[in-house]
Structure 1
Amino acid sequence: MLWPMFFLVVAFCGIAVLGVLAVRVGLEVRRFSRAVGDSSERITRAAENLERAALPLAVRSGRGHGAGGGGRAEGQDPNEA
């Protein structure tokens, strides 16, 4: 009767360890997803700032939104690279 009880205690301890590790993994995943979300927002803001900063240069070179025609010559095919 000693060996079955020993194996039962060992199995219970193993399941308890797996449960604790699962909780820790869940918490780390939540923390990681929050960090990814924050980074995504910062990248979006940086892209918007870059676009805002580059717009005057693009307009000056004739390729901006306000230049009309998007910088293409008359009669040029827009699908042509």
Structure 2
Amino acid sequence: MTSHEIDWERTAINFTASSAETESVLLNLEDRFPEGVPVGILTAALHDQGVSISEVLEDLYDLRMNGEIYEPIDDHYRVL
């Protein structure tokens, strides 16, 4: 998937991110998604803060490689 062609307009839940930090938003959404926060919800929430999809995907990769988050099922994330 290339992110430069996608523009999220709204999320499927009633949530407004108060931060542009991927890990912070992930923490705030975790209670709503016991199986992990779907990447689409996370990218849509961060889009409202001016963060591009490619930036979110890069952040997720870095956080995973640093052992700060994990992916319990494909494309769903939780903080360790």
Q: Same fold (TM over 0.5)?
A: no
Higher helix proportion (structure 1 or 2) = 1
Q: TM-score band (shorter)?
A: under 0.3
If the length of structure 1 is used for normalisation, what is the TM-score? 0.25
Structure with the greater relative contact order (CA < 8 A, sep ≥ 6): 1 or 2?
A: 2
Higher strand proportion (structure 1 or 2) = 2
